Amino acid sequence: MITLENYRYDAERCPKCNNCKWVDFIYTQSHRFAKICPSIARFNFEAYAAHGRFHLALSLMDGKLDFSPQFLDVIYKCNLCGGCDVRCKVVRDHFLSIEN
């Protein structure tokens, strides 16, 4: 069974680099095609990005935050497209190689 605690490792090591939100500028032709995350593109608030959700998860695990309708609204706005995961693997793998 997967619990929220299974994501602590990734949540604590998120560099908050915004790569989960934006395509590198060298790969885009226009600002219209620069966004990766549909949630952040629609709602334009950091909590809707992957690193914002990681921050919410850590706060919940550490007892600094309780479930609320607003909390669940942010969580369920993710459409699970996987763009943040694909983009982050580049950054995360680089940071993991530096740690080891």
The structural domains of the chain, with segments of one domain joined by +, span 7-99
User: Are the C-beta atoms of residues 28 and 41 closer than 8 Å to each other?
Assistant: no
Mean pLDDT for all residues in the chain: 81
Share of the chain above pLDDT 90, in %: 3
Give the pLDDT confidence score for residue 90 in this predicted structure. Answer: 61
Contacts of 74 (CB under 8 A, 6+ apart): 47, 48, 52, 53, 56
Contact 71, 65 (CB under 8 A): yes
pLDDT given for residue 91 in this prediction: 60
Give the global pTM. 0.74
Per residue in 47-87, pLDDT tens? 888 888 888 889 988 999 888 888 888 888 888 888 888 88
In sequence order, the 6+-apart residues with CB closer than 8 A to the CB of 65 are 56, 59, 71
